[in-house]
């Protein structure tokens, strides 16, 4: 096992590069199942979650080449099997369930283990299944598996009870090979959905409306070769913006799409962080006195739940009272317990956290309980007095490419240390 040792309190400076979005790349890699031709994803973030989805595809006998040096993944799914994917891999990562829609679309039937994932709530899949049923699939759940079968998928009018990102993606992918038109109402509008639509369109799918709450997909018969470069990771970009704010530093962040990052930039600006926006980059100046704020996580274009934990670390260091309301996941305050070990003053009341700013975090031994909780602890450690040790950082490796190297490039004192559990 690895842990991070961080000696806090250093001012940082310089530039950091954001990788491509994990949450774009995972559905895009799943979508290659629909296409029997060569698919290439450029600038792929070399992350644990990406390796897991590649392993899931390999367990279906996809031909995959991962070029770590050039950050390129080449996939050919011409010879994949309709047999089940490796159960252990599927349970390891919730996003593995994104192969359901494409497998059903291509083979007309698929059985898969119920998904696992981050420990941040119950995370049902009912919306995915309702959507696939609406396309004509017969869906059954039992003994830890989901099975879907359809003689033919038929385009349909689907209205989601909630704009689920994963359900929108699964339905979009299945619908590309359905007969006729599918309309997804109350669809998720996240930038990663738009990126998936761009990928699908490049390989020959007929889709429009992505990025709005109504997506239309006209089924086609087959696809062609595709090369795609995914969008930047807006959550990694936001994490580095908070790095500047929490360490009271001036940092340039390369690989930022202003529109995708607007909800994060707006909240940081409201706090008093100075952010200069340039083409594909921002300069974040966190040297001013910051103000407490209230924030609520919402589906895009609201404030992302994947930035809630990092924002909590920052608000802990801002004098006054801030309130965070988490509306997306019911159990996403695990990081508060760990931040309290570092001296934070946080009270949780249901879906809200009331945060009283403290003078400074104190270095402690803490545990990353999930991916973004881990990032929040790194941020706290960077500004803490003394040394912070963060265990279980495999969670962080799932979603941040070499975070310690990128932070060291900015002057942080952070080391990865191996230990025996």
Q: Annotated binding residue at 230?
A: no
Residues of the shown chain interacting with ligand UD1 in the complex, contacts defined by CB under 6 A: 23, 26, 94-95, 121, 123-128, 162, 164-167, 188, 192, 304-306, 328-329
Closer to ligand UD1 by CB, 165 or 315: give it. 165
161 DSSP 8-state letter = S
The nearest distance, CB 305 to ligand UD1, in angstroms, is: 5
CA distances from 36 to 67, 82, 123, 172, 379 (A): 20, 13, 31, 18, 43
Closer to ligand UD1 by CB, 167 or 293: give it. 167
Closer to ligand UD1 by CB, 23 or 243: give it. 23
Which active-site residues does the annotation give? Answer: 118
Q: Annotated binding residue at 277?
A: no
Contact present, 42 and 83 (Cβ < 8 Å): no
Sign of CA dihedral 34, 39, 44, 47: positive
The nearest distance, CB 266 to ligand UD1, in angstroms, is: 17
Q: Annotated binding residue at 306?
A: yes
Residues 6+ apart with CB under 8 A from 83: 60
Closer to ligand UD1 by CB, 85 or 125: give it. 125
The nearest distance, CB 124 to ligand UD1, in angstroms, is: 4
Closer to ligand UD1 by CB, 305 or 388: give it. 305
Residues 6+ apart with CB under 8 A from 336: 312, 344, 346, 348, 353
Rounded distance, CA 154 to CA 181, Å? 8
Intra-chain end-to-end CA distance of the chain, in Å: 7
Q: Annotated binding residue at 414?
A: no
- Cβ count near 46 (within 10 Å): 15
The nearest distance, CB 296 to ligand UD1, in angstroms, is: 14
Rounded distance, CA 291 to CA 212, Å? 33
Q: Report the run of H or E that residue 3 belongs to, with start and end.
A: strand 2-7
The nearest distance, CB 241 to ligand UD1, in angstroms, is: 18
Q: Annotated binding residue at 208?
A: no
Rounded distance, CA 374 to CA 203, Å? 36
- Cβ count near 256 (within 10 Å): 27
Q: Which residue in this structure is represented by tokens 């919730």?
A: 94
Which residue of the chain is nearest ligand UD1 when measured via CB?
166
Q: Annotated binding residue at 124?
A: yes
The nearest distance, CB 24 to ligand UD1, in angstroms, is: 8
Q: Annotated binding residue at 163?
A: no
Rounded distance, CA 382 to CA 37, Å? 46
Closer to ligand UD1 by CB, 94 or 252: give it. 94
Rounded distance, CA 343 to CA 310, Å? 16
Going by the annotation, the residues of the binding site for phosphoenolpyruvate are 22-23
Going by the annotation, the residues of the binding site are 22-23, 94, 123-127, 306, 328
Going by the annotation, the residues of the binding site for UDP-N-acetyl-alpha-D-glucosamine are 94, 123-127, 306, 328
């Amino acid at each position: 096992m690895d842990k991070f040792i961080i000696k806090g309190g250093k001012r940082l400076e310089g530039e950091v590069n954001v990788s491509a979005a994990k949450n774009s790349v995972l559905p895009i890699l799943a979508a290659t199942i629909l296409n029997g031709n060569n698919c290439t994803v450029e600038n792929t973030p070399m992350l644990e979650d990406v390796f897991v989805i590649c392993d899931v595809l390999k367990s279906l006998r996809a031909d995959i080449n991962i070029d770590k040096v050039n950050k390129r993944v080449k996939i050919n799914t011409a010879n994949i099997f309709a047999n089940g994917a490796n159960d252990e891999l599927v349970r390891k990562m919730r996003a593995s369930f994104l192969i359901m829609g494409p497998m059903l679309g291509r083979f007309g039937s698929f059985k898969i283990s119920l998904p696992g994932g981050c420990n941040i709530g119950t995370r049902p899949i009912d919306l995915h299944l309702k959507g696939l049923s609406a396309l004509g699939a017969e869906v059954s759940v039992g003994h830890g598996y989901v099975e879907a079968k359809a003689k033919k998928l038929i385009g349909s009018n689907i209205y989601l009870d909630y704009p689920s990102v994963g359900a929108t993606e699964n339905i979009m992918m299945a619908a590309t090979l359905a007969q006729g038109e599918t309309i997804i109402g109350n669809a998720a509008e996240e930038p990663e959905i738009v990126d998936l639509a761009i990928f699908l369109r490049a390989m020959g799918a007929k889709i429009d409306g992505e990025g709005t709450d109504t997506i239309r997909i006209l089924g086609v018969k087959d696809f062609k070769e595709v090369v795609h470069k995914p969008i930047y990771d807006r959550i990694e970009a936001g994490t580095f913006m908070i790095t500047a704010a929490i360490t009271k530093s001036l940092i340039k962040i390369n690989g930022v799409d202003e529109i995708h990052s607007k909800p994060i930039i707006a909240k940081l600006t409201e706090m008093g962080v100075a952010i200069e926006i340039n083409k594909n980059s921002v300069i974040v100046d966190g040297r001013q006195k910051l103000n407490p704020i209230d924030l609520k996580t919402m589906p895009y274009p609201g404030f992302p739940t994947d930035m809630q934990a990092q924002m909590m670390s920052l608000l802990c260091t801002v004098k006054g009272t801030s309130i965070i309301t988490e509306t997306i996941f019911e159990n996403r305050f695990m990081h508060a317990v760990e931040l309290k070990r570092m001296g934070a003053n946080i009270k949780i009341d249901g879906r809200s956290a009331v945060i009283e700013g403290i003078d400074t975090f104190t270095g402690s031994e803490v545990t990353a309980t999930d991916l973004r909780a881990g990032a929040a602890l790194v941020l706290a450690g960077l500004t803490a007095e003394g040394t912070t040790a963060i265990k279980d950082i495999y969670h962080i490796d799932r979603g941040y490419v070499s975070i310690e190297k990128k932070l060291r490039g900015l002057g942080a004192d952070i080391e990865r240390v191996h230990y025996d559990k």
